[in-house]
Amino acid sequence: MSPPVPGSIRAQFQAIFGRMPTVLARAPGRVEFIGNHTDYNGGAVLGAAIDRYVWAAAAPNPAGRWRLFSVGNAAVLELPSDPGTKFSGTDSWVNYPLGVWRSLRDFSLPQPPGFDLLVDSNLPPGAGLSSSAALELAVAVALTSLAGKTDLPPAQLAALGRHAENHHVGVPCGILDQGTSAFGRAGHLVHIDCRGPVFAHVPFPAAAHLWIFNNRGKHALIDGLYAQRHEECLAAAKALGVARLADLTPAQLQARAGGLPPVLAKRARHIVEEQARVQETVTALQRGDLAVVGRLLTASHRSSQQWFENSTPALDQLVDLLEQHPAVFGARLTGGGFGGAVMALTRDRFTEADAAEITRRYTTAGHEREPEVLHLQTADGARRIDWLPRAGVATRTDPLNGEDGSGSSTT
Ligand code: GLA
């Protein structure tokens, strides 16, 4: 279980910066429901914004300086302005706020000249649940609010976050993470046609539950491997004479794939078939056929395992165990891969005890680390949280005192 967010973001902000924040923003993490690596290939993807968040509290800094603090870190980082460089080690999280600040300039949006910023999170990092995108979006909402722009549309918010990640952090991701975090809606999945991108909502089935088994293992070269897959997909599309792999149907690919180098043929097969699975999943969700949805989810995992080669033996084992459980519709790796987490779609009757039995069998099979288990709800997207502080009084509606339930653990 990840630790619950500490009770009082306001108190922490005051303890660190000596005064109250003027803005609080919150952005959810996401589960990639299906559509593995389809986003940057011009395909479609289904994501779920989840009730695990990054919070950003901020206030203008009258001296025009930047002071940044992440709960859990030892010290405040103080900067006179944008240092124009990248941070590493425990300060590497600062690259995201910096990337957002630079992106505001790139998007001709107002930038607050100086600010104090505190971030906190109950999203497990490295699980493939998009803590980076949630950080980008929470900071983007907080900084734009400080600069007087409180009505940023979700599509612009998503584009801004992705731009920060692509151009300033340096990861060539698609729009899935930021789009889902921006457009999340409780009780729904976010459908993204990444060619637009065009965002829509698909009801999340009331009879189903979303679980995460985070095996806490992350490949050291994860960013490099992600970029490599991206390049392989672009090379495959070029060799096949299309702008984007998702432009091809499985039949068209089969007719043309003969001359492709084997690695590129595998990558193309995964993307083209995954794109078809996303459409089939939407149709199956619309007619409430969860058995079919489950089969598509597990088929997606097998394709990642076999053709895209972005799974790991630990993730495969978790999927194997979950697949055999009668209360599980389907299971698959979620996110970029090369470690991270497996998601499972389950029936109502799948309980904590069932989850514990899966983890017991997983560790008995020789895996050292017990997976972290999260039972998640779908959630609303990134937003500013307005509150009316009453002097010295904490009320149930005051999220800065953590009493609105937003910080509670759901596991
Ligand atoms: C990461 C990226 C997304 C997407 C997924 C794989 O989460 O940030 O843009 O490519 O991997 O589907």
**What are the pLDDT digits (tens) for 357-398?**
999 999 998 888 899 999 999 999 999 997 645 444 444 344
Question: CATH classification of 209-376, choosing from 3.30.70.890, 1.20.120.50, 2.115.10.20, 3.40.50.300?
Answer: 3.30.70.890
The pLDDT of residue 401 is 43
287: helix, coil or strand?
coil
Which residues of 151-208 form beta strands (DSSP E)? 188-193, 198-203
Structure tokens at 368: 């050292």
Residue nearest to atom 4 of ligand 1 (CA): 37
CB of 177 sitting under 6 A from ligand 1 = yes
The pLDDT tens digits for 46-72 are 999 999 999 999 999 999 999 999 998
CB of 184 sitting under 6 A from ligand 1 = no
The pLDDT of residue 219 is 61
At residue 351, φ and ψ (nearest 5 deg) are: -115, 175
CB of 335 sitting under 6 A from ligand 1 = yes
Average pLDDT for runs of 10 along the chain of length 411:
54 94 96 98 98 97 95 90 86 95 97 95 89 97 95 96 96 96 98 97 97 82 87 98 97 93 98 98 98 98 98 97 98 95 97 98 90 97 76 43 35 25
The pLDDT of residue 256 is 92
In the beta sheet, which residues pair with residue 344?
211, 331
Task: List the Cα angle 281/285/291 in 5-degree steps.
Answer: 80
| Topology adopted by domain 6-202+380-387 | Ribosomal Protein S5; domain 2 (3.30.230)
CA of 78 to the centre of ligand 1 (A): 32
The pLDDT tens digits for 313-361 are 999 999 999 999 999 999 999 999 999 999 999 999 999 999 999 999 9
The pLDDT of residue 82 is 84
- In angstroms, the CA 301 to CA 319 distance is 8
CB of 173 sitting under 6 A from ligand 1 = yes
Alpha carbon of residue 231 to chain centroid: 22
> Which atom of ligand 1 sits closest to the CA of residue 171?
8
Residue for token pair 């149709």: 283
Structure tokens at 352: 């904590």
List alpha helices for 287-395, DSSP H: 290-303, 313-323, 352-364
For the whole model, what pTM was predicted?
Answer: 0.92
The pLDDT of residue 2 is 40
* 177 classed as catalytic: yes
Question: Given ligand 1 and candidates 226, 267, 278, 304, which is best to mutate, with the most ligand atoms within 8 Å of its CB?
Answer: 226
What residue spans in the chain does CATH classification 3.30.70.890 cover?
Answer: 209-376
Catalytic residue chosen out of the listed positions 39, 177, 354, 398: 177
- In angstroms, the CA 308 to CA 159 distance is 26
CA of 10 to the centre of ligand 1 (A): 33
Of 66, 140, 57, 59, whose CA–CA distance to 96 is shortest?
A: 140
Of 152, 145, 159, 85, whose CA–CA distance to 117 is shortest?
A: 145
In the beta sheet, which residues pair with residue 342?
213, 333
**Would you tell me how many other CB atoms lie within 10 Å of the CB of residue 1?**
11
What residue spans in the chain does CATH classification 3.30.230.10 cover?
Answer: 6-202+380-387
CB of 336 sitting under 6 A from ligand 1 = yes
Which residues of 35-101 form beta strands (DSSP E)? 44-60, 66-70, 77-79
